[in-house]
Structure formats: structure tokens, C-alpha cells
Structure 1
């Protein structure tokens, strides 16, 4: 694969590295001003709103381990596991769409179960 064919992966990884190390100022520089983020809590629009959404979780992170990164020129998928002050393991995945070197859309998936259990919620299946 050429560098152009994996451009979105590099941008997604740089964004991920920034927010998981608490550097939200740098993280938002990878987002288009009108970027859209689909979260388990709902849809967010704009780099400011996305940064504000990520800030509380990023502040609790103790570590993040990238498990996989795949993509092409316009899309990237990252799978990772985070550890935080709330839970030792919280796996997640994010799908990014990239245009003109900026992230225009993110779909975030993460396992909410570790957080529910940490809060003492009773889970019934």
C-alpha cells in the first residue's frame, strides 16, 4: 500500500494518540470544524463539541493500547483498549472518515458494561 492509500489511518492514529494522552487541543486540530461524531450517547456536531465530549473520559485515562488499525485513503478503523481510574479495561473502536487531511466523521463504539459494573449496576441478560 502506498502512503496515499493509508493516509486516513495516519490521521486517525495521530488524533487517537493526542486525545488518549490528554492533549485535546492537538486532537481537535485533526477534526474538521463541522465534523460529526456518532457516540453511544448521541450525535455531536463540530470540533468544539467533540472535544468537550472527549475531555471528561480523556481526563480519567491511565493508558490506552492500540489493538488494530486498518484503512485506506478516506477511512480508518482503530480498535483499542483503555484503562482508566474507573475500570481497568474498556475496549472500543472508532471508524473515521477523512477528507482533505481532516476527520469529518467519527463513529464511536465502546463496551459500556465495565462502567456499569463499576457503578454497581445489576446487569440482567
Structure 2
């Protein structure tokens, strides 16, 4: 297993098991996250964005993963309390065992429908 993939899989396991304190161990202080809602800068902003979602996850199935020494890509399907299938993909850049950049892709429409916005 490559260094980046090892880090990213440990991060994934932590946030999908609702242990966000452990997940944050793998996040760089100056992380940049490209999300469907726009860019997120810094660990505190990233936590404020991602932790509430992680608390809604009941199960997650890792569909695929691969990586090299500096990048890793995951694709997964989560089951959440508001939405029964919420697939996502994440492209990570890793340096010194921390995720410095995360490009997150997921469909926001099912969540908007669940909140009654559509």
C-alpha cells in the first residue's frame, strides 16, 4: 500500500465510524478542500463542514481506492440518516502523513430534497 493511500484510508475509516477527532489527525492545518459548495480553507473550517455530515453516516461502503506516494483517490457510497444512498469521491494530496488538499465530489440534490428545499 502506498503512503498516501494508507493515510487516506485511515482518515476514511475514522470519519465513517464517527470518530472525527481521529479523522482530524490526518488533516493538515492549512488544508484546502474543493467541495460542491465551494472552497474551504483551513482545518477548523474543514471540520465545521465535514463533521456534521459524518455524524449522519450510518454505514459506508468503499467502492474503490488507489494511490501513489502523494495522491489517493477513494470512491464510496454512504448511507445517511436523511439520504439512503450518498455516493462520493475524494481526490487527496498528502504530505508528511497529512491531507493537504481534498477535492470532494458528491451529489447535493438528494440532500436538498430531504431538507424539503426542492
TM-score calculated relative to the size of structure 1: 0.88
Instruction: Please say if residues 28 and 48 of structure 1, whose CA atoms lie closer than 8 Å, have aligned partners that are also in contact.
Output: no
TM-score calculated relative to the size of structure 2: 0.92
CA-atom RMSD in angstroms: 1.3
Hey, what does 2:26 align to over in structure 1?
30
Q: Highest Rg: 1 or 2?
A: 1
Q: Secondary structure of the residue that 2:82 maps to in structure 1?
A: coil
Runs of 4+ in 1 over 3 A off after TM superposition: 119-122
Question: What 5-or-longer segments of structure 1 have no aligned partner?
Answer: none
Number of residue-to-residue matches in the alignment: 118
Hey, what does 2:73 align to over in structure 1?
77
Question: What 5-or-longer segments of structure 2 have no aligned partner?
Answer: none
Instruction: Please say if residues 19 and 27 of structure 1, whose CA atoms lie closer than 8 Å, have aligned partners that are also in contact.
Output: yes
Hey, what does 1:110 align to over in structure 2?
106
2:33 is the counterpart of 1:10: no
Instruction: Please say if residues 77 and 95 of structure 1, whose CA atoms lie closer than 8 Å, have aligned partners that are also in contact.
Output: yes
